[in-house]
Amino acid sequence: MELNVDLLLAGCDTECRHCYVNGGPGRLMPLEDALLCLQKLDEIAALLPFPASFTLDNEPIKHPEIAAILRSAAGLKHIEHYHHGMTTGLALLRRADREAVVKSYLDCGCGSFGVTLHGDAAHHDEIVRRKGAFRASVEAAAFLKACGAELNVSLLLNRFFREDAAALDRVIRELKPDFIYFAVPNYTPHARMMGFEDYRARLSDLVALSPLLRDWGQDAEALLARAEQSTPGAAAERLERGLDLQALFRQEQQELYCAVRQDRRLYLGNTGAETALLGDLGTLDPALAAQRLSREPGNRDYTAFYDPDALPEAGTLAGALRRLPADRLYSDEASVLYRGLAELGVPTRILAL
């Protein structure tokens, strides 16, 4: 087992339609609370029988005291700071001290940053629901690179990619990132995600992009092979052939996700998929918290969202998937199955916060 705790510091500047951590405008966690939470997480981690890490989320650069928080995070002994490095660029470009902020990251061993692109400027801004977001991502990416950071670009497939391929290619050639990720957005039962459904790409879109995928450093054959298995049509077929839903949703998981919101409350479950409140991290007894966490099963997916006893028959789920566009693309089998369960209105374990 491994624990990862998502520590929410300041919300996010965008409200992406595909966001599975419910990012968006949020409160600021006061500096003293952030430092206290880090210290408590370190104390809890020291008592756990498995490794622990934490992530500063959603857009930590929005926090005015991010440099002090990073220094504190780097000094912890028992828990590792997992730096995802993804940024919208909006907060960074707003800051007069942006060079110092990037230097703080680099000094703390966080040398890698990434931006996500969703198409050309108009389509990108439409997907993240923030005007000017595309320009900010590109400008911030160039700035981060000039500061000496490793730059990653994440291309998150949607139905605009086919028409925007040339524009995306131009930006990539300009930015010359160190690494390009290419991903199909997943589907999890978060309220907002249904709003991305009409933006999903089809298998034919990915096929049309194949020549460029190779230019973007991707293994086009492997991507296509996986994509063919991640559509409602393919999942319905597997269900009809006897896919064992119960076994899938009861399989043991090795990752335990927790979230700490800006009010210091510690929850079981990843951000946006919280399933139980454990208490105020600032006042929780570390030994009791460690005991509780040690007993919890992993909650990366499947049972984190659904009670296996509430699952429909495989045939019923296959029927729901047959009502969706057969070649719509999801990240993996789990995403497709969640989408089918949402279609059937199967209740989730996620708390309404």
Contact residues: ligand SF4, CB under 6 A: 12, 14-16, 19, 21, 23-24, 58, 88, 128
Question: Where are the strands (E) in 254-339, listed by range?
Answer: 255-260, 265-268, 276-280
Residue 192 CB, nearest approach to ligand SF4 (Å): 9
Q: Residue 15 Cβ, how far from ligand SF4 at the closest point, in Å?
A: 5
Please, what is the minimum distance in Å from the beta carbon of residue 21 to ligand SF4?
5
Shortest CB 353 distance to ligand SF4, Å: 16
Residues 287 and 318 sit within 8 Å (Cβ to Cβ): no
Q: How far is the CB of 64 from ligand SF4 (least distance, A)?
A: 18
Q: Which is nearer to ligand SF4, 21 or 342 (CB)?
A: 21
Q: Which is nearer to ligand SF4, 10 or 21 (CB)?
A: 21
Tell me the backbone φ, ψ of residue 298, rounded to 5 degrees.
-60, 155
The Cα–Cα gap between 18 and 186 comes to 8
Cα-flanking dihedrals φ and ψ of residue 322, to 5°?
Answer: -65, -20
Q: Which is nearer to ligand SF4, 23 or 119 (CB)?
A: 23
Q: What is the identity of the amino acid at 103? A: K
Comparison of 88 and 112: residue with beta carbon closer to ligand SF4: 88
Q: Are 105 and 91 in contact (CB under 8 A)?
A: no
Among 111, 102, 321, which residue's Cα sits nearest to residue 233?
Answer: 321
Of 156 and 314, nearer to ligand SF4 (C-beta) is 156
